[in-house]
């Protein structure tokens, strides 16, 4: 089995540009690599600063002329490097599985699906932002939540954007006190619409049909 490392011989300043980076093996004879979501193939061991790669279970390296990266791996890169540059990989890695070639069609399909997911997310985000006040946009961007006021009760609800489930905090009525009294959980089918659509649905219900929302929602301790 050959030993591999990954060099950061790129001047890429964006993640898109980083896909042009050439990763080479120790003999500099092959251009690497593939990453696939397939879980049916034994994952290789990759080292980065003496720490095992964070997405081993989804990462596969193989020889080839194409370079494909899963979102999970890029998320790992982003997390590890905390910046747009690919980090240096100075530690040799042992390829634990035979080279696997990912068909070009599958690669293209994955790329298209990723782009489609991004567009859907952007569309949902855009419609939510279009319905928020400047103050709500501000707290969403800075803190990851926004506050709405109940249509009838004038109760303040804090909608957290981290998820669509159990994400509504019922706040103390005192405007200067953000103590959470309890939490509410009500959302659309989680598989039906993207996250930001859920947040908009929750906002519209609380502002436009609060009593119905409260009838539907389950209540949880804070």
- The site for another protein (CB under 8 A) is made up of 119-127, 131, 133, 165-166, 185-189, 192-194, 196-197, 200-205, 207-209, 212-213, 216-218
- The nearest distance, CB 151 to another protein, in angstroms, is 8
Residue closer to another protein, measured from CB, 35 or 206: 206
Residue closer to another protein, measured from CB, 83 or 208: 208
- The nearest distance, CB 122 to another protein, in angstroms, is 7
In the block, residue with structure tokens 């990989």:
89
Structural contact between residues 6 and 90, judged by C-beta atoms closer than 8 angstroms: no
In the block, residue with structure tokens 């042009």:
20
Residue closer to another protein, measured from CB, 88 or 151: 151
- The nearest distance, CB 203 to another protein, in angstroms, is 7
* Cα distance between residue 46 and residue 49, in whole Å: 10
* Cα distance between residue 196 and residue 129, in whole Å: 9
- The nearest distance, CB 40 to another protein, in angstroms, is 28
How many C-beta atoms lie closer than 10 Å to residue 24's C-beta?
16
* Cα distance between residue 116 and residue 108, in whole Å: 12
* Cα distance between residue 156 and residue 170, in whole Å: 6
Residue closer to another protein, measured from CB, 58 or 125: 125
């Amino acid at each position: 089995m050959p030993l591999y490392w990954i060099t950061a011989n790129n001047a890429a300043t964006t993640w898109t540009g980083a896909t042009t980076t050439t990763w080479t093996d120790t003999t500099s004879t092959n251009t690497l690599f593939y990453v696939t979501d397939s879980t049916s193939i034994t994952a290789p061991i990759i080292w980065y600063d003496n720490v095992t790669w964070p997405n081993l279970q989804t990462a596969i390296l193989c020889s080839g002329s194409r370079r494909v990266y899963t979102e999970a791996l890029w998320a790992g890169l982003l997390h590890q490097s905390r910046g747009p540059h690919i980090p240096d990989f100075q530690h040799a890695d042992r390829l634990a599985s035979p080279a696997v070639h990912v068909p070009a069609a599958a690669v293209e399909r994955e790329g298209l699906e990723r782009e489609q997911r991004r567009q859907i997310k952007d569309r949902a985000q855009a419609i939510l932002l279009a319905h928020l006040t400047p103050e709500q946009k501000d707290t969403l961007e800075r803190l990851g939540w926004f506050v709405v006021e109940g249509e009838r009760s004038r109760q303040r609800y804090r909608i957290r954007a981290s998820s669509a489930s159990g994400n509504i905090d019922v706040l103390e009525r005192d405007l200067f006190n953000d103590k959470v009294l309890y939490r509410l959980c009500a959302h659309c089918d989680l598989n039906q619409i993207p996250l930001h659509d859920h947040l908009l649905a929750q906002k519209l219900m609380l502002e436009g049909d609060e009593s119905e929302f409260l009838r539907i929602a389950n209540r949880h301790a804070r």
